[in-house]
């Protein structure tokens, strides 16, 4: 995103903003404005947006109104109560980060404002200065037309006006520049959805250039920030379909927005751990957002519109869709967000990344689904490329059969497999390609940064070996090779189940600090199902025990302790389990369960149905277990 630090200061109308001589409008503090006097304001007409900046005497309030008069007719639009020149015939209103358009008729004083779907207003504060950007595309004004502005600071909840800029007389005025929009060199294909159903190859590439290599695929997923409209046109010239990247569930940058969210940022951001900061994806340094937020909906739809108009993309690739698995309240809003996108772009191809749990609700709405890391992936902890573990391979088979195949059969859904390998000749690629075609997927393999295009050296061959079950009850078991955490050597650890790409050995690795480890090596997790879950420790000989210490898993700084669980033991020579400790109110990361000393052969942690953490009640997630006599 373009920096906001170079806003030009303009109050006179002009045709080409970039050539305008900067001018500043200042006014003295207003004595009765409760420290919210507006000292200066700056506006400029950039090529893509209307830029607004104003400075207050004290730290700026989040309660501000900015009015725009755009048609030159003071007899239409809203009439502000103050009735000064420049405050009549107001056509648009910016409240926080929401853009409204006046939709009244004869009642010029009432609240007749309608929020504009897809309009993304950026609002940031730096000290006493507020900086905003309004896309010209949202205003839909002809080039050369004048835009007059009035800025107002207000008391809480917009109850009373504190100060205006300007206080009396005319308004701040700019002209829509001639370079209003970048037009796509070639428009999006009208038959893109039908053509997408027939593709046999694709690439996923976020780097720059590589036009020739990309043009050799039937479809490409690109990060348009690293391409030009000219390069996209060249890629599409001979029939390749281009899909633009959009993040649906995470924001790459923090926005001030309405200022009502965590840390004074936009209310679109989650703060589930209540630390006063937006929840962050530590791997990619992005921020989790609420799909129901009007602010996020506007940003998302505005970005989609921009990609179609500026780059002529044939559709969209929606990343981070599956954040609803972390924030369950995001499930329905995410479905509605994607449906809104379809309503606005009925001819565009839409492909979602993972998110198969909502695929049934989107059958016929989306054209494709990508299964990222289907067979091979990248471990950020070890910084190495890895094959998916048996638990993940089994999950992939189950997902293909349960979620994907029914929609493939009913709607012709295209399923893309995206795997990762260290180079174009990595032997793992043959397995990834074979497994993909076995499940009727279109394969692609790249590096983790998606800035290389590997040539197609491998030809996929269907193989029934990929249809078998890889994880067996015995293969889930881990046996210690040395004494650890109070357990003797040769202790067998048996879980009720294993979450995809996890293993059970981390619970007895003896490591107290696991921050440097990959998520797949930090803890054991059960399958996320509405069942009781358990983990059992069987020692080679009976041992005295009076205490079990459990350390629950942490993800992105948030702990996920089970709240309803019990500790059971089985004494030597007995087959019955004895309950020695239990709770249904736990919310702490570390639990020490004490009980009268017993000589035990087995110890079991049993989580009741839906007894997991508040955030993920159907999951049992354990980082470390230790016993003491």
**Does position 19 have pLDDT exceeding 60, yes or no?**
no
Q: Are 101 and 128 in contact (CB under 8 A)?
A: no
| Neighbouring-strand partners of residue 420 | 446
Farthest CA pair distance, the chain: 94
Give yes or no for a contact between 532 and 539, defined as CB atoms under 8 angstroms apart: no
pLDDT at position 117, please? 65
Strands 280-281 and 172-175: unpaired
Residue 10 near residue 22 (C-beta atoms within 8 A): yes
How confident is the model at residue 32, as a pLDDT?
A: 64
Half-sphere exposure of 586 toward its Cβ, with a 13 Å CA cutoff?
27
Greater model confidence, 605 or 77: 605
Q: Which residue has the tokens 């927005």?
A: 257
DSSP letters, 578-602, are EEEEEES----SEEEEEEEEEEEEE
What average pLDDT does range 205-226 have in this prediction? Answer: 94
Whether the CB-CB separation of 540 and 490 falls below 8 Å is answered with yes
Structure tokens at 539: 């020692």
* Dihedrals phi, psi of 589, to nearest 5 degrees: -70, -35
Q: Is residue 620 within 8 Å of residue 535, measured between CB atoms? A: yes
CB-based burial, 559-571: b 16+ in 10 Å, e otherwise: bbbbbbbbbbbbe
Residue where the block lists tokens 């593709």: 199
Q: Rounded to whole angstroms, how far apart are CA atoms 506 and 524?
A: 6
Residue 498: CB atoms within 10 A of its CB come to 22
- As a whole number, the mean pLDDT across the chain is 88
* Structure token pair of residue 498: 């294993």
Nearest to 202 by CA among 188, 224, 219: 219
Query: What was the pLDDT predicted at 35?
Result: 63
Cβ contact 62:96 at 8 Å: yes
Residue 145 has pLDDT above 80, yes or no: yes
Q: Which residues pair with 63 in a beta bridge?
A: none
Nearest-5° Cα angle at 127, 283 to 261: 50
Average pLDDT over residues 165-171: 71
Q: Are 623 and 513 in contact (CB under 8 A)?
A: no
Distance, CA of 33 to CA of 38 (rounded, Å): 9
- How many Å is the Cα radius of gyration of the chain? 29
Residue 10 has pLDDT above 70, yes or no: no
Regarding beta strands 414-420 and 442-446, do their DSSP bridges make them parallel or antiparallel, or are they unpaired?
Answer: parallel
List, in order, residues 6 or more apart from 570 with CB less than 8 Å away.
Answer: 576, 577, 578, 600, 601, 602, 603, 604
**Cα–Cα distance between 275 and 340 in angstroms, integer?**
32
Residue 321 tokens, joined: 């869709």
- Residue 174's nearest CA partner among 315, 46, 293 is 46
What is the per-residue pLDDT across 400-454, written as a single tens digit (0 to 9) for each?
999 999 999 999 999 999 999 999 999 999 999 999 999 999 999 999 999 999 9
Whether residue 338 contacts residue 352, with contact meaning beta carbons closer than 8 Å, is answered with yes
Tokens of 574: 């007995």
Residue 17 pLDDT class (50, 70, 90 cuts): very low
232 by DSSP, 3-state: which?
helix
pLDDT band at residue 14 using 50, 70 and 90 as cut-offs: very low
Query: Which carries the bigger pLDDT value, residue 170 or residue 356?
Result: 356
Give the residue carrying structure tokens 């806003």: 7
Cα-based torsion angle of the residue sequence 228, 229, 231, 236 in order, rounded to the nearest 10 degrees:
150
Between CA 607 and CA 582 the distance in angstroms is 10
Q: Would you report the helix, strand and coil content of the chain in percent, each value rounded to 5? A: 20, 30, 50
Q: 12 pLDDT band (50/70/90 cuts)?
A: very low
DSSP state of 624: E
Report the distance separating Cα 357 and Cα 363, nearest Å: 11
- Taking alpha carbons only, the member of 432, 281, 298, 429 closest to residue 371 is 432
Distance between CA 220 and CA 202 in Å, rounded? 5
pLDDT over 60 (residue 23): no
Is the pLDDT at 484 greater than 90? The verdict is yes
DSSP state, residue 508: G
In tens, the pLDDT along 45-90 reads: 877 788 888 888 887 777 889 999 888 887 778 888 775 655 788 8
Band of residue 5 on the pLDDT scale cut at 50, 70, 90: very low
Cα separation, 209 vs 216, in Å, equals 13
**What is each CA distance from 71 to 76, 91, 591, in whole angstroms?**
9, 8, 66
What confidence tens digit (pLDDT) does each residue in 243-253 have? 999 999 999 87
């Amino acid at each position: 995103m373009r920096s906001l630090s170079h806003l030009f200061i303009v109050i006179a109308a002009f045709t080409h903003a970039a050539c305008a001589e900067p001018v500043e409008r200042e006014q003295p503090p207003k004595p009765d404005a409760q420290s919210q006097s507006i000292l200066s304001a700056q506006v400029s007409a950039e090529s893509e947006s209307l830029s607004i900046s104003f400075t207050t005497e004290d730290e700026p309030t989040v309660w501000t109104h900015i009015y725009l008069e755009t048609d030159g007719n003071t007899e239409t639009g809203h009439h502000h109560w103050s009735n000064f020149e420049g405050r009549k015939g107001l056509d648009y209103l910016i409240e926080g980060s929401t853009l409204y358009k006046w939709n009244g008729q004869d009642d010029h004083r009432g609240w007749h404002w309608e929020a504009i779907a897809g309009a993304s207003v950026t609002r940031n504060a730096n000290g006493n200065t507020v900086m905003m950007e309004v896309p010209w595309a949202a205003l839909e004004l002809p080039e050369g037309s004048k835009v007059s502005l009035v800025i107002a600071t207000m008391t809480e909840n917009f109850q009373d006006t504190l100060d205006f800029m300007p206080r009396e007389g005319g308004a701040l005025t700019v002209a829509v520049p001639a370079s209003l929009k970048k037009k796509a060199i070639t428009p999006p294909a009208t038959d893109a959805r039908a053509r997408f159903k027939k593709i046999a190859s694709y690439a996923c590439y976020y780097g720059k250039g590589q036009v020739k290599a990309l043009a050799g695929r039937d479809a490409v997923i690109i990060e348009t920030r690293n391409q030009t409209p000219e390069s996209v046109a060249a890629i599409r010239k001979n029939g390749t379909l281009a899909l633009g990247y959009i993040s649906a569930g995470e924001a790459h940058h923090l926005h001030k927005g309405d200022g009502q969210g965590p840390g004074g940022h936009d209310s679109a951001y989650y703060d589930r751990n209540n630390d006063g900061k937006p929840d962050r994806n530590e791997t990619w340094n992005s921020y989790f957002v609420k799909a129901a937020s009007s602010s996020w909906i506007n940003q998302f739809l505005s970005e989609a519109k921009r990609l179609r108009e500026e780059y002529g993309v044939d559709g969209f690739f929606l990343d981070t869709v599956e954040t609803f698995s972390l924030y369950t309240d995001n499930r329905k809003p995410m479905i509605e967000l994607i449906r809104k996108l379809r309503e606005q772009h009925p001819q565009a191809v839409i492909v979602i990344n993972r998110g198969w749990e909502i695929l049934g609700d989107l059958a016929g709405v989306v054209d494709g689904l990508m299964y990222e890391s289907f067979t091979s992936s990248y471990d950020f902890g070890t910084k190495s490329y890895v094959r998916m573990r048996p638990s993940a391979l089994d999950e992939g088979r189950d997902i293909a059969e349960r979620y994907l195949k029914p929609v493939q059969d009913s709607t012709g859904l295209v399923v893309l497999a995206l795997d990762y390998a260290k180079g174009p000749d990595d032997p793992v690629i043959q397995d990834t390609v074979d497994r993909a075609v076995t499940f009727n997927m279109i394969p692609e393999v790249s590096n983790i940064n998606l800035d290389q295009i590997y040539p197609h050296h491998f030809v996929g061959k269907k193989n029934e070996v990929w249809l078998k079950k890889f994880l067996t009850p015995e293969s889930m078991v881990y046996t210690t090779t040395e004494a650890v955490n109070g357990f003797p050597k040769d202790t067998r650890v048996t879980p009720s189940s294993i979450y995809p790409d996890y293993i059970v050995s981390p619970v007895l690795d003896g490591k107290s600090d696991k921050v440097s480890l990959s998520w797949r090596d930090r803890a054991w997790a059960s399958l996320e199902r509405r069942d009781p879950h358990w983990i059992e420790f069987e020692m080679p000989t009976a041992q005295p025990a009076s205490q079990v210490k459990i350390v629950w898993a942490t993800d992105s700084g948030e702990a996920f302790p089970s709240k309803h669980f019990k500790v059971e033991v089985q004494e030597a020579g007995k087959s019955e389990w004895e309950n020695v400790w239990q709770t249904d109110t736990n919310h702490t990361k570390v639990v020490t369960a004490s009980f009268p000393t017993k000589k035990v052969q087995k110890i079991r942690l049993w989580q009741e149905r839906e007894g997991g953490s508040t955030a993920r009640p159907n999951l049992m997630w354990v980082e470390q277990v230790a016993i003491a006599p």
